Each structure stands twice: as structure tokens, then as C-alpha cells.
Structure 1
């Protein structure tokens, strides 16, 4: 086993596994600190550019760019494995997001359904995460067993999956690769608010907003969109989404998730002018015809403002300005606060709100497990070795967990050796 990136950072995750001369990769992410794709090299994995020595497969744990972002630079000869909804959501996003890409899987991850790739046996475990259709994985080869946590949490809308993992953990694990994104953000026994708690907070804020409530969150954070929808309904408001969010929600394939289709109330679709032009340029403008009965038009925004919540991004501000729909508005930032750092689009949005005297408040919870829940997971799995990954705080692991082994990027580790 070799971790190419992730032993000292969040993002850019890539793990290479080898058995009987055959190899697979777990994730191939773009580092968070990368300035762009073109200038970011691929990790030093034999055959990643193609050829007979290429890996048998790249398995994507979920659809966040820090786990798939270098795929466009890898050879198309290498088979991709991911969740079916992950593939569908990424395909939908590719029509809207410049850096997104549509990928084709040769096999799909399914919860608890074993698949065989060469000498590797892979059992995916669906997990709770802010990224929809996310998986942890049990991997066995040559009698050695590895468990990769991927990105996960316990406080989201699928928290029961985490509890099921605790109640029925993978057994006899030689090495567990466990994410530690939350370490350093909370106390060692700290926890994050649940999505249910966030729903109540949002509902209270929406009720006390005179005009339109603007929620700045990722449309691909399906849990958060559901939270905003439920909170809007609690407060007697309609959730307004754009075409991008509508297509992402449809791409989940889940009947339980709100979308512009029969049976869903308190939902409307507004297509901003910039997006309308983008769809026309791509030749896919007719997709907005599928929102018939849900469309909200520019001249309706001001009148509907006090009864609405909008899933919002900064570039939509011009539309709301032109429609005179910002009177009494409040903005609720529901993303990682690191995206508000100086020089970021988030900082520019905060400044735009200040210029318009729009109240700006952070209402958010993490997509990653708290230290307390990570302790529960480590204790339940009880691996022979626990190796930190996807963390800036690896030095905290030995104090919090048993049998920790600190490794470095690019270091080969023999799975199954005694600690």
C-alpha cells in the first residue's frame, strides 16, 4: 500500500494498493491547494498515463473534486468504478460547472455488494457524508484486509449508516485508513450540530427574515438542500432553486429527495439570466421545459421574496438587483468558513452583502465526522494499524486513537505486518 497524497493534507487523496503484481487506486483527487488542473502533476503511479502496466481500476469513493479531480489527466484506458448516483450527478454537473466532467463507470459500487477486481475483493459500505452516494470500503487481497473510511460523518441525514457501521464493523482489519478532517477544528471530544438541528435554526431565521432568505450552499450537498427545503416548508416559504440544482436533485434518482416533479410542493425553479444564456449556448435550453408548473419568472421575484428561500450563489445577485427582490433580504452562508478567507469568492459575496446592508450569517455544519465519532469508529473497527489520511492534524492521532502508525506520502507499507 502507498498513500500518494493525504498523509499531511486534506484533499488530493490517492491510495495505491498492490497484490500479485496487480494494482488498483482508491481515489485520484485534486489537492485543495492546487491553483489549477493543468499545472498539477499526476502522482507517481506506474501506468497512470496508460500502457500495459496501468492499474486495473480507479475506485472513486464519492464525487467531491478532492477525490476525483485528477481523473481528466489519467489515461481513459483505466476503468473507473464509482456509485451509480455519483456518475449521474457528475454527468448533470458537467452541463453547468466549468471544471466538472462527465465520467463513465465500468462497475458501480453498491452497499454491501462484493465485487472482484483482479486479486482484490472490494465490499463498499454506503456512509453518511455531505457528498451524496459516498462509500467506505473493505478491501481484501492475499488474506490481508484493509478498511478505507473515505469521507464520512455521523450527524447528517443518513446518520443511521454510521451507527450501522459501528454496530457491524468490518472485522480483522490489518490497516484502517481513517480520515481526520475535523481534527483541529473542534476539541478532542467535540461534536458538530446535526442536520436536524440546522433545520430548526434555518426555520427560525427564515421566519424572522422580512424579505427573501438566501442560502449560500453547494447544490451537490444534497443533505443541506433537503435541510433548506424542510426549513422553508416549516416557515411557510417556498424553496427556489436554479436549473443546475434542479438537475442535480433529479440525478440522485431518489424519490425521497425534493425535485421539480409531481408530488413536490413548496418548490420553484428560477433560471438566472446567465444560466439561461449558458444553456442556450450548450444547446440544452429545452431542459427547462421539464420544469413546467414550477417556473418562477424575473417579474415575480420581488412579489414572492417575503415568502421564499433561494438556494443562492454570488453571481445571482445581479438578477435579484434587477428584479428589486433584495429588500429585507438576509444571507445565510452554509459552507465551510474557509471559503470566506480573504481573496475568495465567499469574501467577495460577504462584501457585496455589506454594501447592500444585507445581514450575513454563517449557519453550517461539517461534512466530516467529529473527533468523538472518529473515536467510536476506530474503537469499533479495532484495526491492527490505524493510519491517518485526509488530515492536516496527523500528530493528534496518537493521542486520540490506539495502534496509530504515521506514514508519509510515497511510502510503501506492507499490509498485514504486526505494528
Structure 2
């Protein structure tokens, strides 16, 4: 088995890994770079079968549903088979109605935790992992008598931290090469840790308790762990969590009754004007119909803003301003702080400030800390550890054993 990393040896995001065995090939992820400019031309990696037909490309195994791992598939001229979790498929399909460049990918087969799947000469064993994306996997790939472990994106401090402990306690054996993410290098001290999701929940609980008006929490609706934290903090304060139609559909797409849904008495739907227009034009009234159990309207928000915590995004602001419900409100930024540098986000923050809305940041990473990466590398003990999904590959040899630094586009034997 041969391998090459098309993107990821010197950057976070845009991950594309190509494997070859018996003259057949498989991709692990096919992501769009994080610095990709919207509507700019996209350059596909030099992978036969993405721009022109090539039957030797058997498919793409998606580790999870973040754009930097699937985003190039929407730009590929050809459509190779895609292997992904059922939850990932449902979430991407639901998001495709709301977000123009999200493809409604159809799975050739669904990945399931611990269940091997054979694709030509390759056998993939998916390992469900803790990450800020729902239904995320690491992979063990076997072919030609060799074994490769791909970490995907993972952590131990989320709501599914037991999955990380399981991986460390019962790691895959006989791994020749481990591709391990290092997103935290350069962002976190060697012995430091990220806040746990439980700690974020406690901090949110306190913010809600001390806010006299509405609380706006800017978080990704696809970060299901965070939505659960927001819901639990909201419920502890006797308030109602307000979600828009997009967020309601993301929660519905998980297929889990244990995850907050609009059918729950503590969750309510508020459909902003732009979403109502979109539903009407597409005649997708079924979307609102399935979330109508507890629907809110502007007059509800106007009358009692102190009763609500809103899962917030910039497109909601105009509706909230028109509802005159921001007196005494407070906003929490609960996603990657790097987005705060964007011009659009700066405009949003200025608008919130102009309406007297307070602001603070409460977030934790979707990626493992250095101590946890050390535990994972020691447990798997690969013959070679290759850095990926990192800007700091050159630091790996000082932190881990058996490191081999590879370069984008370089073929090498597993």
C-alpha cells in the first residue's frame, strides 16, 4: 500500500489523503482549505477521478461532516462513491437546503463504529470518536498486508470523551503508519488542556443566570455537543431555547430522540423572515410543519425576552431588532475565535454593540490537546507517525516517537 497526502502536511484543513493498492485507489477525506475564498475558483488536487473519469478511484471515505474534510466534493467534475456515517449523510442533506454550496451527498455505504467495510483491496474499520462534528470517525485501513491509522479530527474533552478513552485503552494493533492530527500545536502550551464541554456548560449557566434579558449564543448548529450544553444551561435557568429552522433541521437530522428537538417543551422554533421566504419559494412547508409544536413569533419575543436563550447567527439580528427584544440582552461567541477576525463578524459585533448588547467568548476546541495526543500516539505505538492537519509538523519530533514528516504530493510506502 502506498500513500500520499495532497494537503494537510503543513496546514489545518483541506485534508486529502490518497491510498493506492493493487492499482486501485481510495481517498480519506476530500476537504476545502480553511482559507478558501467564497465563490473563488477551486483548484482540485491532482487525483485522477475527481476532474475526469478514472475507474481506479474506488471512492472517498469521509471522516466527518466538516467542510475542510468534504468541501472539494461539491467542486469535483466526477462523483466518486462516498462512504460516510448515516448521521453525516442526513446532516449534509438537511444543510444543503439552507446553504448553497453544501452538496446533498448520497452514501454508497454507511460507516458504522467497529464494523469493517471492504472497498476493493481496502478494508476500513471506522472508530467513532469525540469531536465537535456529529458522527465523526477515525479509520484503520488495511491493504496489501499493511495497516494505516488515520485519526481524522478527535478530542477527549467533549461529551463523548469515553470514546477517546476506549481508543487509548483498546487501540488498533500492528499499525505501520499513523496519520495524526495536530491542530492544537501552536495554539496551546505543551502541558495545557482545553476546557471540557461540561465546563463550558457551567459557564453558560452562569452567563444566563446573570443576564436580565435575552441571551444570544453564537454557535454552530452542527456542533451538537455545544447545542446540548446550551440547552442544559438554558433549562437550568428555567428558560426556553429558541432555534431557527436551520438549527431545528440539524437537530432533527441527528436521528436521536435524546438530543434536544423542537418537540421538547423547553425548545421552540422561531423562523426568521429570510427562512420563511426560502420555504415559500421552494414550497417546502413540510419543514415548518414538523417543527410547529412550540413555535414563537416576534410578539412572543417582544413580550418576554428574558424567557429565552437564542441559538444565534448574524442572519437573525434584523428580526430580533424589529421585535424590539434586545434590551438587557447579552451575546456569547461560542465557536472558533479565529472567525472574530472576519470582516463580516466585525460588522456583526459592531451592530450588537450599537444595540447595547454585551459580549463575551466561551468556547473550547474540537481537537485534542498535546497531552491527549501523546496518550493516543503512545497507545497505538505506530512504526511511523506522520503529522497531518497541522501548521506545526516540525514540532512533532520533539513531542512524539517515530515521527516521519512527509510533504504534500509525496508518494511513500506504508
Length, aligned pairs only:
412
The SS at the match of 2:376 is: helix
Distance in 2, Cα, partners of 1:77 & 1:241:
34
Partner of 1:48: 50
TM-score w.r.t. the length of structure 1 is 0.96
What's 1:25 paired with? 27
Q: Determine helix, strand or coil for the equivalent of 1:132.
A: coil
SS of 1:69's partner is helix
SS in 2 for 1:95: helix
Aligned to 1:197: 199
Cα deviation, 1:297-319, whole Å, max 9, x if unaligned, reads: 11111223101100000121111
Distance 1:290 1:53 in 2: 42
Distance 1:55 1:117 in 2: 10
Matches of 1:187 and 1:84, distance apart in 2: 36
Q: 1:108 to 1:266 in 2, by over 3 A?
A: same
Listed as ranges, the matches of 1:116-135 within 5 Å are: 116-135=118-137
- Trace 1:20-419 onto structure 2 (pairs within 5 A): 20-36=22-38, 39-261=41-263, 264-343=264-343, 345-415=344-414
In the alignment, structure 1 segments of 5+ residues that lack a partner are none
Conserved? CA contact 1:119–1:142, under 8 Å: yes
Deviations 1:15-38 (A, max 9, x none): 000011110000110001111365
State the Cα deviation string for residues 233-264 of structure 1 (Å, max 9, x = none): 01111100011111110100112101122xx2
The answer on whether the counterparts of 1:298 and 1:323 sit within 8 Å (CA) in structure 2 is yes
Report the secondary structure of 1:145's partner residue: strand
SS in 2 for 1:408: coil
Alpha-carbon distance between aligned partners in 2 of 1:163 and 1:70, rounded to the nearest angstrom: 32
SS state at 1:126 partner: strand
Q: Contact conserved, 1:50 with 1:77, CA < 8 A, in 2?
A: no
CA contact (8 A) 1:50 1:78 kept: no
Of stretches 398-407 and 74-83 in structure 1, the one that deviates more from structure 2 is 74-83
Distance in 2 (CA, whole Å) between partners of 1:351 and 1:77 is 42
Change (3 A) 1:101 1:90: same
**1:62-102, Cα deviation, whole Å (9 max, x unpaired):** 11000000102224441110000000000000111122120
Normalised by the length of structure 2, the TM-score is 0.97
Change in Cα spacing, 1:52 to 1:321, as seen in structure 2 (3 Å) is closer
State the distance in 2 between where 1:211 and 1:81 align: 45
Match of 2:387, SS state, is strand
Q: Do the aligned partners of 2:53 and 2:78 also contact (CA within 8 Å) in 1?
A: no
Q: Distance in 2 between matches of 1:95 and 1:257?
A: 22
User: Does structure 1 conserve the Cα–Cα contact (< 8 Å) formed by 2:385 and 2:401?
Assistant: yes
Query: Contact 2:73 / 2:79 at 8 angstroms: preserved in 1?
Result: no
CA contact (8 A) 1:37 1:70 kept: no
> Does structure 2 retain, via aligned residues, the 8 Å contact 1:48–1:54?
no
Whole-angstrom CA distance in 1 between matches of 2:69 and 2:150: 13
Q: Residue 129 of structure 1 aligns to a residue in which SS?
A: coil
Unmatched 5+ residue regions in structure 2?
none
1:189 positional shift: 1.1
User: After TM superposition, what 4+ stretches of structure 1 lie above 6 angstroms from structure 2?
Assistant: none
- Show CA shifts across 1:119-160 (max 9, x none): 111100000000100000000101100000000110001111
2: distance between equivalents of 1:260 and 1:229? 12
Contact 1:276/1:285 (CA < 8 Å) preserved in 2?
no
Cα displacement (A) at 1:51: 2.3
Assess if the C-alpha contact under 8 Å between 1:55 and 1:78 holds in 2: yes
Superposed CA RMSD in Å reads 1.1
